[in-house]
Amino acid sequence: MSVSPAALPAYSVLLPLAPWESPPVLREALASLVAQGLPPAQVVVSCDGPPPEALALELERAELPMDLVLGPGGEGLGPVLARGLLACREELVLRFDADDLCLHDRALWQVQAMVRRPELAALSAPLAEFQVDPQQASGCRTVPRGAHRLRRFSRWRNPLNHPAVILRRSRVLAAGNYRARSGFEDYDLWLRLLRRGDSLDNLAEPVVLARVGPAHLGRRQGWGYARREVAFLWACGREGLLPWAQVVLLLVLRPPLRMLPAAGLGWLMAALLRRSASRS
């Protein structure tokens, strides 16, 4: 049963902003927030350093209830998100990236779902991906549904799509907020929430169109990413977020995949981790 929009609680949006974002792309992203059927009460833009003039101009032009949170720069995504979440006033917080697009009813669907299911600490959805034209989907990044499947899946892979997440602020803060876990800030948070006994889940249909391309894939390959992944997995074992047997298995399986050339890694991800748009 849906909850009437008039009876729904207010929500904040948490948008991290890096200085290298494209102004036209940011303009499109902000326009998708302006067009929400259920508008936000607050948009927190947490900046990794002062935004360049062109990005600052796009923020000023957006017709949104915006709060700008500035950091010193060069901190990484975890501290930027942690500072931004502390600045959010509402209990429900919609995560959003500066290069993605929200579907018109994203906020309505996700806020309704969180009201219906107060046990949830976070909720995401499949992620519809595009490269140039949002009307031409290139794939869909699927995620598991149901508490049992999600918990089992989390031992192998990130169980939520971060760009499509809505959070319950108090639960995230109780778990320790975002941390500096380069490349794994959200996975680290989900595992800590699950360890606390919090519930996570996913919607059946996409709510966000995510912009992807060669640069997106390139961030997940090479020695640098492999070293960060090894450090993250080791920390998961040390903190009891994953069983040591699972950590050892992942340490054997994961790093070699990061050494594949971009074409090989892209094929593997398309074959194993996503379903094509034609099968959606």
**DSSP string covering 110-133:** HHHHHHH-TTEEEEE--EEEESS-
Which contiguous run of DSSP H or E holds residue 202?
Answer: strand 199-202
CB 195: neighbour CB atoms within 10 A? 13
Asked whether residue 220 carries a pLDDT value surpassing 70, the answer given is no
The residues near 174 (Cβ < 8 Å, ≥ 6 apart) are: 196
The residues near 259 (Cβ < 8 Å, ≥ 6 apart) are: 221, 222, 223, 226
Asked whether residue 277 carries a pLDDT value surpassing 50, the answer given is no
Question: pLDDT for 144-193, tens place per residue?
Answer: 999 899 999 999 999 999 999 999 999 999 999 999 999 999 999 999 99
CA distance 274 to 140: 6
Q: What share of the chain is helix, strand, coil (3-state, %, to 5)?
A: 45, 20, 35
Averaged pLDDT, 14-35: 96
Provide the CB-side half-sphere exposure for 167 (13 A, CA): 32
Domains of the chain with bracketed CATH: 5-214 (3.90.550.10)
Burial class of residue 29 in the structure, from the number of CB atoms within 10 Å of its CB (0-12 exposed, 13-18 middle, 19+ buried):
buried
**Residue the block writes with tokens 């399986």:** 253
Supply the DSSP symbol for 278.
G
Amino acid identity of 65?
Answer: P
Residue 132, pLDDT score: 81
**Residue the block writes with tokens 């940011």:** 26
Q: 139 pLDDT band (50/70/90 cuts)?
A: confident
